[in-house]
Every structure is written in structure tokens, then in C-alpha cells.
Structure 1
Amino acid sequence: MPAVKKTRILLLYGGWRGHSPKRFADFALTKLLTDYDVTCSESLRSLRRPYLDGFDCLLPIWTFGKLSDKQQEALLGAVAEGLGYVGWHGNASSFLECRPHKFMLGGQFVGHPGGNHIKYPVRFLNNDPLVKGLKDVTVRSEQYYLLVDPAVKVLADSPVHGGEQRWLKGVTMPVAWKKKWGRGRVFYCALGHTVNVLETPPVTTLLKRALAWACRNSSQKF
């Protein structure tokens, strides 16, 4: 019998070192991607076609950075034609000069009121297979305040702590969502300032499900 072809993932990591991209890449390789055929890259030069068309999903662990016009066109075009895209945390601050990337991702980081180590609950909205059965968690980390596309399907949310911006206290903020970009499936989770938050079992499960869901030609319903 011919060998079963594994789903191909491009793990792209780098950018701002303050978000420890290598450490998160190691987490992804050992906890999320063991069942996939993974190619690792530390260069945005990987964002080119037809190279991207050989993968089923892109996992970018990249904060800040700048895309060339050709890289932007290749990335958005590949996703629109079916390449899956799964990002977390600092990905909402990736490629700040690239408005189309924000449009594709469905959100943009604007701050984390309360600082780096606040305690807050995360509620999974059990109306979707990606979060079905997951128990709500409480984390101690940054709480991202995001500008979010109203077209996304929110999978998890949290009441905003607010910090010094007391007028924000209690606002409901999306924490994870999914959306489409053409034929491509896009997922984002705001958690992930530190690896231990992603190692929380319900969060790890969510990321695993998101990868399986987002991959090109996934049999899972949107």
C-alpha cells in the first residue's frame, strides 16, 4: 500500500524576540504538530508562490516585521486559494504596515490594559465544534485589547480587566475566532504571551482543533 500522505504545515517563526519565537516554535513542534509533515522557516522569504501552494496550513509565530509587496500578495493570495492560517497572540501585531493582513486575520492588537500579569477568565462559547466540551479557564497573563472584524465567528471571550483605563472594565473582548478569506480558513487566538498559557489543556486542545480545521481541503465543516 502507498504511504498515507501527511498534511503539510509551514511553521514560520521569527520577528520580535520579546515574544520568544523559538520557544513557541518548540512548543508547536512538540505539542501541536507531531502528526503533520512540518517545514520550519525563519525567513519571510518563504512567503512566495508557488512555494506556499505546496502547504496545507501556515502557522506564523511572528510579531512585527514588514512584508514586501510581493510577500503580501503571495500570502493573501495563497490563503484566498485555500491555504489555512492559524495564528496566536503577537500575530495580531504582525506586519503593522500591511492593512490587508489585518483584514485577512480579522483583528488588530491595540493594547493590553492592566499590564502583563493580570488574572482573568476565558469563556469558551460552546456553539462550535472547535470549542465544544472545553472548560472555561482562568489565566494570568496579558489581556489583549483588540479591534475585531464583526464578520468573524467568536469562539472564546473574556471580560476586560481595564487596568488604568477603568472605563473599559467589563467590556466583552473576543479571545479566539475563526473566519474565511476566500477559500482559506483563518483562526486566531489572543492567548500566548507565555508558553505556559498555551500549555493549559483546553487551550492546547483548541489549537490542535484549529489546525485540523484550517488545513486545505479539511473535511470539517466551517
Structure 2
Amino acid sequence: MKTWLKRILLSLMVLVVGAVGYGYYQLKSVGLIPRKDYDTVAPVLPEFKKPAVLVFTKTNGFIHKDAIPVAKQVFKSLIEQQGWQAYLTDNAAVHSPELLKRFDFIIWNNVSGDVLTAEQRTAMKTWIENGGGWLGVHASGGDFSYDWEWYVQTLIGAQFIGHTMDPQFQNADVIAADPSLLITAHLPKPWRVKQEEWYAFDQNVRDKGYEVLLTLDESSYHTAGETWLGNDSMPGEHPIAWRHTVGKGRVFYSAIGHQPATYEYLEYQAFLRKAMHWVRGRDGDQ
């Protein structure tokens, strides 16, 4: 083989390897390649002088790089407005029996992927069943890579099967399932949410006895059905936020929250504030 041809082939190989490596790095940097990163050394908690709320953010799956920091600040502000103390961490080892008992409730902010060890799973499950409160938003229930059946089938209650992709971000009408409830009474009827990513799930949690709070009007935006990511629609009612009890504990999930701007909506902040009071379980019914 001639020298010039060898050089061309070698250059092409270098380009291909570089492109593959760059592509892998990009996919990993946004979490499209799931990680197995577990924390085993717990953080040292401060002395809480007020009711304490854990805001937990860890991403072993897709990383909502724009939404996570905005949601952190919104949750911190809402928590402090209630006279409580916020503790923000991405260290999953905070999920231990000794540390969880120091919190009134916990918030999972766009957590993705498999983030807890077996011991940490048991600690959180037991804590909730014994009266703890859990509030999760968006990716905390919208992931293919959660390797924990109890989390998917009981805590969330349904498996995420895809989201809008044609286009990904759309305006849509969100409907209060029961507008007489205090938690949704403040919302416009319908509540038009702009440029969000809309999740679909494999089943309606209402069929499990969970209380559906918000639904999507699929006629108000474009659904493509099957996409390369999965499915973006559901037959019949399309729940997008709900709550239920697990043992003595209270669980609340809202699939809304891919876009940072969504957390800035006063309507959504009021909804999340009321959700926090409900999962805390000490301030009357919402």
C-alpha cells in the first residue's frame, strides 16, 4: 500500500475514533448513558433549629442541567418562606435511618437513574412507610433506568414510557381533576403551560387508587404516538400530577418541570408550596 494512502486511512481512523469518543462524552455528560455512581459516606448535617426539609438532587441518568439549579432555588425559597430550613445535597448517603429521621419530609428534584444502594433504599422505604413525606418532580418519575420496582410501581405508581418529541416542547392545557380541592383551586381553568415537555406513563394511577390532581388535555397539543423515545400519549385520562399514601407516609409526584421557566410560574410555585404542606402532613388538608 502506498504511503499516501496509508496516511489518508490513518487520518480517517483518527477522525472516526475522535468522533466516537466525542459522541460518547457528550452522551455521558447529559446522562443519556446511565451511570452507577453510589455514595456511601454520609454528609455531616447541621443542627436544625427549625423543621428541616431535604432537597435531594442526584443524576445517574439524564441530567436536567438547566432546570435543576432553578428548581433548587425555588424549593429553597418556598421552604424558607414557610419558616422551615432547607438542606440541599446530591449525596445519596443522606438516606440512612439516622439522618432521614431528622427531616420533616424530602424532595427529590429531578433525580434520575439508579441512585441508592440497597441499604439506602430500605431506609427510605421504611422511613416513608412509618410516616415520612416524599415529593418528587419531573425526572424523579420520568426515567427508564430506575432499577427499583417498589419505587416505580408503588412510590410513583407507573412507569414512564416517553415524552413529546414532535416537537419536544409544547404549550398544553393542564386540567385540575377536581377544581374544588384547595391544592388546585388557585389554578386557571384550564391552566395553559407554555413550552414544556409532556410525559406519558404505562398506566393511569387512578386505577391503583391514587388521587389524580392534574391531567393533560391531549387535544391542546400535538401527540405523535410512538416516537423514537417511546410513546407520548395515553388512552383516556392522562394524569400529570397525583398523590397517595404509602403506609403512614404521604407521597406526591408532579411530572411537570423540564424547563427552568416552569418553576418561575407563580401558579406552579403555589401548587408546589401546597404539595409541601400536604406531604408534611401537619398543616391541615390541602
Smaller-chain TM-score range? 0.7 to 0.9
**Where do residues 30-179 of structure 1 align in structure 2 (5 Å cutoff)?**
30-35=77-82, 36-61=84-109, 62-93=111-142, 96-102=146-152, 103-113=154-164, 114-124=166-176, 125-135=178-188, 136-139=190-193, 140-147=195-202, 148-149=204-205, 150=207, 151-160=209-218, 161=221, 163-165=223-225, 168=233, 171-179=236-244
Take 1:179 and 1:155, find their aligned partners in 2: how far apart are those partners? Answer: 10
Take 2:278 and 2:233, find their aligned partners in 1: how far apart are those partners? Answer: 33
Take 2:80 and 2:140, find their aligned partners in 1: how far apart are those partners? Answer: 18
Take 2:128 and 2:107, find their aligned partners in 1: how far apart are those partners? Answer: 12
Asked if the contact 1:110/1:146 (under 8 Å) is kept, the reply is yes
Asked if the contact 1:45/1:71 (under 8 Å) is kept, the reply is yes
Higher helix content, 1 or 2: 2
Take 1:65 and 1:24, find their aligned partners in 2: how far apart are those partners? Answer: 21
Q: Aligned pair in 2 of structure 1 residues 208, 190: CA closer, same or farther (>3 Å)?
A: same
Measure how far apart 1:96 and its partner are. Answer: 0.9
Asked if the contact 2:112/2:146 (under 8 Å) is kept, the reply is no
Measure how far apart 1:171 and its partner are. Answer: 4.0
Higher strand content, 1 or 2: 1
Between the two proteins, the alignment pairs up a number of residues equal to 217
Measure how far apart 1:128 and its partner are. Answer: 2.0
Asked if the contact 1:159/1:171 (under 8 Å) is kept, the reply is no
Does the residue aligned with 2:238 lie in a helix, a strand or coil? Answer: strand
Name which structure has the greater RCO, CA cutoff 8 Å, separation 6+: 1
Q: TM-score, normalised by structure 1?
A: 0.87
Measure how far apart 1:33 and its partner are. Answer: 4.2
Aligned-pair RMSD on alpha carbons? Answer: 2.3
State, as a whole percentage, how many aligned pairs show the same letter. 19
Q: Unpaired runs of 5+ in structure 2?
A: 1-48, 227-231
Does the residue aligned with 1:50 lie in a helix, a strand or coil? Answer: helix
Asked if the contact 1:7/1:56 (under 8 Å) is kept, the reply is yes
Asked if the contact 1:19/1:63 (under 8 Å) is kept, the reply is no
Q: Which runs of 4+ in 1 moved over 3 A?
A: 31-34, 166-171
Q: Aligned pair in 2 of structure 1 residues 55, 98: CA closer, same or farther (>3 Å)?
A: same
Amino acid at match of 1:138: R
Asked if the contact 1:162/1:169 (under 8 Å) is kept, the reply is no
Q: Aligned pair in 2 of structure 1 residues 169, 183: CA closer, same or farther (>3 Å)?
A: closer
- Report which of the two structures shows the higher radius of gyration computed on alpha carbons: 2
Measure how far apart 1:39 and its partner are. Answer: 1.4
